[in-house]
Chain A
């Protein structure tokens, strides 16, 4: 009789261990073509017919909690380039085309700065953009990506362009990487939350810590993604009314005619002997 009850207990333990192992192995078992890591994990935890956690957590369950924490640590390593340097789950790239951030800098020769700045600001508004920064000598505007070229041409007509610089920064890799990390972190968070429901007090504290870290990471990634989306949607144009010093070139191009250096309003208008 005692042997029978021992066998029953062993059976229960084996069943519990099997469940926990399955739980810990879920990420690796998830199909690589799965649209999201979270979906696969939830599927494993909440699949119809799976036993619902109706009893208090046991030591064996705590082993599962430890596995989950380890998984979170593995996720951290994967994100940080540890191990093989690849995220455990590969998400599909959401965008087929390059994601570019356009930035332009123009230096216009100085004349009626206030009026010109007002005009630049008006152009920005007319083009559906907005003023970002404005000071005595410089103005920065944000323009919808589709209006970037037109706006640049309009601003260039305002004066004598001394210097022009346009850059297109490709952030496709960073964007895709961030999206993958976000999905992975969300999946880890969901799993931690599920485990938290059946964790003991001691383990719950550990899970809470890990949960806080993962949540913080999710918020950070979401913030960065939001910023990238904004930078992609709105190009930045900075117009400076004070040209940069380019002393090397300037010195080389000064012509050796003294009268030429003497030209200008200061000589002309200074009529006092």
Chain B
């Protein structure tokens, strides 16, 4: 009987410990070989990784409080770059995250001191949050790193399934 009580207590303690220490990201992303994840990018970015040639991928998480859907935020980002005057929208593509969440990818071109740059932005709305995934670099390097970048983008999870608790899983991906 003591053994059972002790086991229950330990289990409860473990659950509380896991619950309180699990303050990970509400998304999951794999860092491709050739990239290094940078530390201390908060609060601007929740994740940022860089390749030696300067190609950077980053993830922002914006709490939505039930404000705006994917179409609203996609349009907002397009207009924002129009206002910046120096970005050309090259393409808009429908994309899906690894967990099946529909999203949009916007591909921009930009000239900086006569050098062409490419900038890709993916948007997903999930968990009452907006996930903004940005990738950028010179056109030459972006084309060189295209396979790695695509792989990283495909690895993104914005909703995580778990057998432990679907309710908790909707709050975080990296908790377990």
Contact A269 B137 (CB under 8 A): yes
Contact B111 A259 (CB under 8 A): no
B 108-123 to A, binary, CB cutoff 8 A, 1 in contact else 0: 1111100011010100
- Return the contact of B54 from the options A111, A255, A269, A273 (Cβ within 8 A): A269
State whether the Cβ of B76 lies closer than 8 Å to any Cβ in chain A: yes
**Given A250-B83, A265-B117, A260 and B76 contact (CB-CB distance below 8 Å):** yes
Contact B56 A109 (CB under 8 A): no
- Residues of chain B contacted by A268 (CB below 8 angstroms): 56, 58, 119, 134, 136
Contact A271 B56 (CB under 8 A): yes
**Given A111-B88, A271-B56, A265 and B82 contact (CB-CB distance below 8 Å):** no
- Return the contact of A113 from the options B40, B84, B111 (Cβ within 8 A): B111
Contact B38 A263 (CB under 8 A): no
Interface size of A by Cβ–Cβ distance < 8 Å?
Answer: 28
State whether the Cβ of B25 lies closer than 8 Å to any Cβ in chain A: no
Interface residues on B, range: 35 or more
**Given A110-B111, A243-B85, A259-B132, A267 and B44 contact (CB-CB distance below 8 Å):** yes
A103 and B143 alpha carbons, distance in the complex (Å): 38
State whether the Cβ of B89 lies closer than 8 Å to any Cβ in chain A: yes
State whether the Cβ of A11 lies closer than 8 Å to any Cβ in chain B: no
- Residues of chain A contacted by B111 (CB below 8 angstroms): 110-113
- Residues of chain B contacted by A162 (CB below 8 angstroms): 82
Contact B89 A109 (CB under 8 A): yes
Contact B79 A111 (CB under 8 A): no
Within 8 A of B (CB), among A162-218: 162
**Given A259-B132, A265-B119, A265-B136, A110 and B86 contact (CB-CB distance below 8 Å):** yes
- A158 → chain B closest CB, angstroms: 10
- A132 → chain B closest CB, angstroms: 24
Contact B121 A263 (CB under 8 A): yes
Contact A269 B136 (CB under 8 A): yes
Contact B88 A255 (CB under 8 A): no
- Residues of chain A contacted by B88 (CB below 8 angstroms): 108-111, 159-160
